Amino acid sequence: MATLSALKSWARGIKRDVVALWIAARDPRVPWYAKAAAGAVAAHALSLIDLIPDFIPIIGYLDDLVIVPIGILLAVRLVPPELMEEFRQEAIRRESRPKSLFGAAFIAAIWIGTAAFLIWLFWPTSTAATPA
């Protein structure tokens, strides 16, 4: 039972940090490289569209279980600690999950671009000469 409680606490901390990173990406006091990392992680985590869809076996959940937490850890370390604590407190106050429309549009653009490239790559073309 203690393990379940610890997991719930960890998940709440991850959610709080994602919102805090979303706030950090928009704050002028945060260095540009930390803003870039925080914005990328928050956009991916808050996006309605996964970079790797969950229906793909094994790697579909890889981004949710490995990539997102590692990205959060990296971005949190790049943001100055005193600012990160301020952003965490603000995230607790907000408690509502923001939607990243830019993040969703970015991921959708990646998928559309990949689909267009694959269609172009594999579209059958006739190179044989037609008889006269």
Instruction: Give the residue extent of every domain in the chain.
Output: 16-107
pLDDT digits (tens, 9 = 90+) for 48-91: 667 677 777 777 777 777 878 888 999 999 999 999 999 999 99
C-alpha dihedral over 63, 111, 101, 88, to 10 degrees? 20
Pick from 25-29, 40-44, 101-105: least confident: 101-105
Specify the pLDDT at position 77: 94
Quickly state the pLDDT bin for 104 (edges 50, 70, 90): confident
Residue 25 — φ and ψ, nearest 5°?
Answer: -65, -15
Which has more pLDDT, 105 or 117?
117
C-beta of residue 55 within 8 angstroms of C-beta of residue 114: no
pTM for the model: 0.63
105-117 in b/e form (b: 16+ CB < 10 A) is: ebbeeeeeeeeee
